[in-house]
Structure 1
């Protein structure tokens, strides 16, 4: 049923696969030899029994059995051979069934796999058996793998940054950011920020710093000289002859210094209370005053409209890109270290959280099942196309090696069943003739 050429082992097979195929081929040859030998024995027995039937009538039963067994064996030999080629090379219709119907087999096989193996429910049930999240967690928790992934991501970073800049995504993000900032109500936001700042009277620290600044100003000789000159300009000349400017400056500085010291030393000083009322009043105006809201909105629009802002965004992007590219190229990259730690931490957290794993597995099942559903017609077509491209000799050889031995046993069964049927018919014939 196979030519020596078709029985040759294909190139590229592993030694173990070749050994297995060699064992199957040897077993097939033994079975074929036994089946053929049994058929020859049936023919010989039939001939001997038939020739001696006149001397020993009981040999008629043996001849009937052998005759029917021979016919059954020949019929089953024909059926087995007709699956793969034309018996004796004769152009008999409906023979060489597999080679003649390769295209139909390919189409039916593809449709069968699509309908029975790639149906939505079986695919989902099979995917649910796999804990994808646990596989991801185990993979990421391995630091060597996480380092390899971080190196891979690091190599992609320059290309990603270049793609972002070339695609206009940076300009789009800048515009979107400015648009979002333009929609923010500045006055209420500023009021909330100032309210948070004034908790526990933290704004009083500003007053303390302000008093220190004034104190430093009043102790600066150049500042005092300028202030004294201003006083001299405002006083009549007669007062300046009596050095009234110096006296007034001295009294002003002393009074101011005393006041500042009192404010700094007394947390309940009336000036602090006035400052509290001023700050809280300003916050209240920001929160409720339409006039303040209008002014804040105008300041915001003026600020966002300035070209320097877009230039600042461009400078920030260039600086960030340069830093990232330089860092990922470094052997001791901090970016890669942080990425490695991040991947390991993600894997460990994922391993500890069954709910997240369950959610991830559900997502994997939905995504993969949807992918299989959308691509199964393509898989069916791919299988059909591959079957069409199979070499007929190789296909016949593979089928013969793997199922040929079982097919040979059909010949044994055919001889046995045929022989028993012939024996039964011969017995029935004798009974009918006897009556």
Structure 2
């Protein structure tokens, strides 16, 4: 049974009970029931009138101050919209509520906990690898190439090269490349086969020298007791000593080498020939 019918039936029962109690012999029990039915009848009628007056005129009679919602519909709607805009949907209110919710902190914490799990990381990397493998690189490569070419041709190549040189110097990439080269050279010299090769090469070149007089005699005498193995060991020590000197951050020789590298890079970046070569390489 719907609530509106239940309320109507209840009001009818209160009214019928009140009328019946009026015609019964009056005693304490009848008066008590009469008061109860009377209170229920008055309260129910008041509630019905109050609720009905909000939406329409009770029994169709245009009583003043009734049908309040219909008469003030526009004012109520505008008030609700204004309240939503000023209290709920403005930037400050949304920001405040998001901060209270700590949504992003919760999400980031949850993601961090997931990523910390090895199986999740493995699955993520596997999915990413599969997605990269399925990319149509053959079709995308020409478009990427054309986009890069258009960007570079629209810019000043010399300016881009100079900026690259400045970034290289700012991040000390030139020194890092130099240190890598020094380390590789030291490893190469320490190789026994390369040491022997240096000794053979030095011995052969000294033997080819055409020096007369005391110089020639001294060289031939040295070659007499200095075999290829000994020459290789001496050259190895000399080269390693020079490499360590250049690798020393406080060495003046290192400063000269780094300065020379940077000057050469600047010359290459400013050269019109370099710009034409870069453009030709890009066009090819």
With normalisation by structure 2, the TM-score equals 0.55
Q: 1:56 aligns with which of 10, 23, 26?
A: 26
Aligned pair 1:108/2:83, yes or no? yes
Aligned pair 1:179/2:166, yes or no? yes
Confirm or deny: 8 A CA contact 2:196 2:229 kept in the other structure.
yes
Provide the rounded CA distance (Å) in 2 between the counterparts of 1:75 and 1:260.
130
Q: Which deviates more from structure 2 when the two are superposed, residues 93-102 or residues 206-215?
A: 206-215
Confirm or deny: 8 A CA contact 1:188 1:286 kept in the other structure.
no
Confirm or deny: 8 A CA contact 2:49 2:58 kept in the other structure.
yes
Gaps of 5+ in 2: 211-215
1:318 and 1:299, CA in 2 relative to 1: closer, same or farther beyond 3 A?
same
1:56 and 1:313, CA in 2 relative to 1: closer, same or farther beyond 3 A?
same
1:299 and 1:168, CA in 2 relative to 1: closer, same or farther beyond 3 A?
same
Provide the rounded CA distance (Å) in 1 between the counterparts of 2:126 and 2:41.
73
Provide the rounded CA distance (Å) in 2 between the counterparts of 1:273 and 1:146.
48
Confirm or deny: 8 A CA contact 2:165 2:266 kept in the other structure.
no
With normalisation by structure 1, the TM-score equals 0.40
Deviation at 1:112?
A: 5.4
Confirm or deny: 8 A CA contact 1:188 1:287 kept in the other structure.
no
Q: 1:67 aligns with which of 38, 42, 50?
A: 38
1:271-313 deviation per Cα after TM superposition (whole angstroms, max 9, x unaligned):
6666677777888552366xx7765554332233345655776
Deviation at 1:42?
A: 1.3
Q: 2:103 aligns with which of 117, 122, 127?
A: 127
| Partner residue in 1 for 2:69 | 97
Provide the rounded CA distance (Å) in 1 between the counterparts of 2:146 and 2:67.
62
Provide the rounded CA distance (Å) in 1 between the counterparts of 2:110 and 2:252.
56
Q: 1:301 aligns with which of 244, 252, 266?
A: 266
Provide the rounded CA distance (Å) in 2 between the counterparts of 1:293 and 1:142.
42
| Partner residue in 1 for 2:4 | 32
Confirm or deny: 8 A CA contact 2:53 2:68 kept in the other structure.
yes
| Partner residue in 2 for 1:81 | 52
Confirm or deny: 8 A CA contact 2:56 2:67 kept in the other structure.
yes
Deviation at 1:73?
A: 0.4
Which protein has greater RCO, CA pairs closer than 8 Å, 6+ apart? 1
Gaps of 5+ in 1: 1-25, 232-250, 320-435
Please give the secondary structure, in 2, of the residue aligned with 1:202: helix
CA RMSD of aligned residues (A): 5.8
1:105 and 1:136, CA in 2 relative to 1: closer, same or farther beyond 3 A?
same
1:42 and 1:299, CA in 2 relative to 1: closer, same or farther beyond 3 A?
closer
1:212-266 deviation per Cα after TM superposition (whole angstroms, max 9, x unaligned):
55778899xxxx9xx9xxx9xxxxxxxxxxxxxxxxxxx99x969x579814345
Deviation at 1:60?
A: 4.8
1:149 and 1:70, CA in 2 relative to 1: closer, same or farther beyond 3 A?
farther
Aligned pair 1:165/2:148, yes or no? yes
Deviation at 1:177?
A: 1.9
1:35 and 1:173, CA in 2 relative to 1: closer, same or farther beyond 3 A?
farther
Please give the secondary structure, in 2, of the residue aligned with 1:181: helix
